[in-house]
Amino acid sequence: LLVIYHLFFFILGSVGSQIIRRSSCINLSTKQLDIRGLANYENQNIPVKAVMFITKEGIKICVEPELKWVKQAIKYLDQRHVIRRTTIKPKPKPKPKPKPKPSN
């Protein structure tokens, strides 16, 4: 009976808890960032709705996603990534070496 009691509370506790990512936003910054210093962003809905900007130095800063400057920064980063993808051309494949002709 004691085992069932502990098992019940173990299961009940694990159902209510969620695993939070290592880099999750909990507190949001109110400071507007210089978009030229941003490298990327991630959207987050749990534990709070936020945008996590990643600076060129690798610093992660969480902000309110509905702010006007945040939406503009996301648009800027999306456009910059599209430009990079279209301007980077794949390396040409090396030409195969000609096979030696068999001698008769």
Contact 42, 51 (CB under 8 A): yes
Domains and CATH numbers, the chain: 23-87 (2.40.50.40)
Rounded distance, CA 95 to CA 98, Å?
9
Q: Report the range of poorest mean pLDDT among 47-61, 68-82, 87-101.
A: 87-101
Q: Note the pLDDT tens digit of each residue in 39-55.
A: 999 999 888 899 999 99
Amino acid identity at 44:
Q
Rounded distance, CA 46 to CA 50, Å?
8
